[in-house]
Structure 1
Amino acid sequence: MPRIQLSPLNTTHASFIIELVNSPGWLEFIGERNVKSREDAEAYIRKIDSNPAIDYWIIELVTSGEPVGIVTLIQRDYLQSPDLGFALLPAFEKQGYAFEAVSLFLNDFFSVSANKEVHAIILEHNRSSIQLVQKLGFLFSEHIEVNGEQLSLYSKKLT
């Protein structure tokens, strides 16, 4: 029985987004988003929702509906295929939730998308995310520099 489900991001998730984007892992590996209030969070969510290049999905516990993380897909200008991202609240890390959520998301994505490749760009020192994408079958492609940051580019192709 699945432990998690994915649901689309909406403004009812504002409190959760404030907590997530200000968590230590988010700040270290993704960066400051200046989302400190409910109004900031709602504006952040509306900005995401209005951008057709961005898809955000909330990872929720099946038993309670509690949001515990996100899975994202972003078409970046400098990549030919979309970039997969994920983040969890600290209390839910290292329990297999990210693996379950990303696996579920990729199965759905590859079954309905004409695009048969997905990338993951990861800071070189983010060992946990690198291990997760490798476990999911992503292969290292190359090192790239984006806005002065050195990133590792991983790719997964549907075969």
Structure 2
Amino acid sequence: MRDVKGIDNTFPFSKDESTRCFVNIMGTYKRIKKRNNTSGEGATNWEFFQTLDEVFGSRSSVLVPDAMLESSLNSLMQDLSNDPPDSPTVLDLDATLPSTSTPRNKLTRKMNVLEFLNKESEEDAKVMKKLLDTEAEKLAVEKEKLVELKEIRTLFQKILDKS
């Protein structure tokens, strides 16, 4: 980014001032956008919000129609392989493209996630039980040490008393 003053001497702000101003404006826009998207709070009005929201507020769809995607992939694969489209080296796009999600597929995925989480939970419980058992063993050993130290102390006391 060039310095605007280098191009137009009459421009009253430096590059740093312009950048700082833009960063502040974007921060204000994002804060208001976030506040407006949360429930329970009224919409905040700001004179520049609508203009900025038109530019930065919406994202264009990134979903490409299947026909266009298949067409572009076929031409890409053809260019890469330099073979005719019906050649066996060209990928079968119907087999490689992800299928559209049906409610059953979503349910299956949710069930798989739940099964995974349950399995992980069971494994974590086993690890925790093993850890607790180990700590209990350590505690028992420390108690034995304490008993032995008390006996040694008693013996030393008896030796001192005899002398």
TM-score normalized with structure 1 length: 0.18
Higher strand share goes to which structure? 1
Whichever of the two has the greater Rg, that structure is: 2
Q: Highest relative contact order (Cα 8 Å, sep 6+), 1 or 2?
A: 1
Structure number having the greater helix percentage: 2
